A and B are shown apart, each in its own frame.
Chain A
Amino acid sequence: MRHFEIKHISGIMSSSVQSDSDVHISRIDQTKINEFARMNARLNDLKELIKVKENDLRNLEDAVDEIALLDDADPVPYSYGEIFVSCSLDEANGLLEKDKSRLTDELKLMKSEAGSLLETMSDLKTHLYAKFGDNINLEPDPEDDD
């Protein structure tokens, strides 16, 4: 017997429902499934954003290391969008530190949001698996997982 399987094309997760209509799906279940799918989308979105911010932070840290090797007297060209403004070493250091702490704060917020998402998702998972068993698949596709 062939069962219809649905894949979330946009998400990493394939939440295929092979419901064997013996298990009745109530509106509450549907809401939970929706919630899970929505949270999963948000989580993937967040993961991407976190990756970008972490990269930015690494670049800033490299800049801090490099600047330490420079001569005090030389002005430093500091990047503002498309142009570089000459700054003194102290100014540049201050700007870097400011950017760094802002990024660190943003990352902290994002990671805590991702953490609480994961928590709620695992609760939902427990509930949905308990009800639907093998008829529902809430795991990420292994080939998409990194």
Chain B
Amino acid sequence: MDPPPTRPEDPEKKSHAGIPEAEFVEDVDAYMNHPDHDRKSEDVLKQFDEMHSKYRFMELNLTQKKRKLRVQLPDLEKSLELVKKLKEESAKKSGNGLPAHFLISEQLFAKATIPPTKTVCLWLGANVMLEYTLEDAEALLTQNMTVAKKNLGIIQHDLDFLKDQITTTEVNMARVYNWDVKRRQAAKAAGDAIQ
């Protein structure tokens, strides 16, 4: 199950990554007549389009991060399960070890017995592997899982925020475009009337 989206701790900030908020255009006519825009709908549309592309790019980035975390979580869970299994096994007095089949390469497994053990090696990434006691390994994996879940919540919040900005920008673009169509029509009608 996905963790719920996590809000930023600072209430002033609406997104964790500091994503800028899209401006909502309340009154298109007033907006276009503003000296900054000078009734140039092409320029305004271009600006919106640029923002839109930027938002889309951020969305893509975050979606990739989210996907990576969703793959990572089950992996962590499996490792944690195995560490727990090893702990159980070594706690047994009569433990002869744990018979298992190991993946040697794709499609090829070999039989081996894991003797009762107190330590396990964790792959930390970047070509580093460290030996931990079973207890420490369990604690580390649990902590990693908590962090991964928290990050997933943060990413989800930012994605939700981004989605809002994208939708707002899209609506703005449609309205400015239609404003322009109307203006042109009105100008054409006025021209026809004179003739």
Please judge, given known A-B contacts A80-B78, A80-B81, A110-B1, whether A3 and B171 are in contact too, CB under 8 Å. Answer: no
Q: Which of B99, B159, B175 contacts A25 (CB 8 A)?
A: B175
Closest to B165 in A: A34
Q: List 16 A-B contacts (CB under 8 A).
A: A4-B174, A4-B177, A8-B170, A9-B56, A10-B59, A19-B174, A21-B179, A30-B24, A30-B171, A34-B167, A77-B100, A80-B81, A81-B75, A83-B102, A83-B103, A86-B101
- Indicate whether A17 reaches chain B with its CB closer than 8 angstroms: yes
Q: Which residues of A contact B163 (CB under 8 A)?
A: 34, 37-38, 41
Query: B175 contacts A19, CB within 8 Å?
Result: yes
- Indicate whether B168 reaches chain A with its CB closer than 8 angstroms: yes
Please judge, given known A-B contacts A21-B182, A85-B100, A106-B1, whether A80 and B85 are in contact too, CB under 8 Å. Answer: yes
- Indicate whether B57 reaches chain A with its CB closer than 8 angstroms: no
Q: Which residues of B contact A38 (CB under 8 A)?
A: 160, 163-164, 167
Interface hub of B98, B166, B182 (most chain A Cβ within 10 A): B166
Q: Which residues of B contact A9 (CB under 8 A)?
A: 56
Q: Which residues of B contact A63 (CB under 8 A)?
A: none
- Indicate whether B26 reaches chain A with its CB closer than 8 angstroms: yes
Query: A6 contacts B79, CB within 8 Å?
Result: no
Q: Which of A10, A16, A82, A86 contacts B99 (CB 8 A)?
A: A86
How far, in whole Å, are A75 and B31 apart by their CA atoms in the complex?
A: 74
Query: A18 contacts B1, CB within 8 Å?
Result: no
How near does chain A come to B138, taking the closest CB pair, in angstroms?
A: 15
Which 7 pairs between the two chains have the least Cβ-Cβ distance?
Answer: A4-B177, A81-B78, A84-B101, A86-B99, A34-B164, A6-B170, A37-B167
**Which residues, 79 to 115 on B, are CB-close (under 8 Å) to A?**
79, 81-82, 85, 98-103, 109
Contact with B along A23-44 (1 / 0, CB 8 A): 0011100100110011001100
How near does chain B come to A129, taking the closest CB pair, in angstroms?
A: 16
How near does chain B come to A45, taking the closest CB pair, in angstroms?
A: 8
Query: B178 contacts A26, CB within 8 Å?
Result: no
**Which residues, 149 to 165 on B, are CB-close (under 8 Å) to A?**
159-160, 163-164
How far, in whole Å, are A19 and B180 apart by their CA atoms in the complex?
A: 12
Q: Which residues of A contact B100 (CB under 8 A)?
A: 77, 83-86
